[in-house]
């Protein structure tokens, strides 16, 4: 499974998290989004999105995944298993701790243009009060983006 994760920082002090899980053929198996009050640092927001995506994958039974992120700074920290001693470090440590719960977990960098579905989900999270998960169905807000990806 390939997971794309992304974060959006909103003007009201909230961040949005989005993730989409696709199978080997690129078909959407699961999509999710969530928003909450948080810091406005983009690397921290992206790390929170990555952690959220891994929790979603584990909660839905996916244990062989590639996590794609579009934040190069976060990607380097994940690949190098960088230890930092601040709030970001706590989130990174959570991600590194989750590593052993997967049969296979790899990290990949994707340009923003290749992460549009997760980006739309992250931005759509502002419309919901709680975590949203769509399984085996494409949510309406990403339908056009997924169709464009497939073409």
pLDDT in tens, the chain (151 residues): 999 999 999 988 899 999 999 999 989 999 999 998 877 689 999 999 999 999 999 999 999 999 999 999 999 999 999 988 999 999 999 999 999 999 999 999 999 989 999 999 999 999 998 999 999 889 999 999 998 876 4
Distances (CA, A) of 130 to 18, 111, 125, 133: 13, 28, 8, 10
Residue 7 near residue 70 (C-beta atoms within 8 A): no
Cα 28 from Cα 39, distance rounded (Å):
30
CATH number at residue 72: 3.30.420.10
Specify if 91 maps to a domain. Answer: yes
Per DSSP bridges, beta strands 28-37 and 132-135 are: antiparallel
- CA–CA separation, 104 and 100 (whole Å): 9
* Total-model pTM: 0.94
User: 96 lies in a domain?
Assistant: yes
């Amino acid at each position: 499974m390939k997971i794309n994760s992304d974060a959006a920082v909103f003007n009201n002090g909230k961040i949005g998290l989005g993730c989409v899980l696709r199978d080997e053929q690129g078909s959407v198996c699961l999509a999710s989004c969530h928003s909450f009050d948080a810091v406005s640092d983009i690397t921290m927001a992206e790390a929170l999105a990555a952690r959220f995506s891994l929790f979603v994958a584990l909660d839905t039974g996916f244990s062989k995944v590639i996590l794609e992120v579009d934040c190069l700074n976060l990607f380097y920290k994940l690949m190098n298993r960088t230890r930092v001693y601040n709030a970001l470090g706590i989130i990174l440590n959570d991600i590194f701790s989750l590593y052993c719960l997967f049969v296979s977990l790899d990290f990949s960098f994707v340009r923003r243009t290749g992460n549009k579905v997760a980006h739309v989900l992250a931005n759509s999270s502002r419309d919901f009060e709680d975590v949203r998960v769509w399984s085996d169905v494409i949510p309406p807000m990403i339908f056009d983006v997924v169709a464009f990806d497939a073409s």
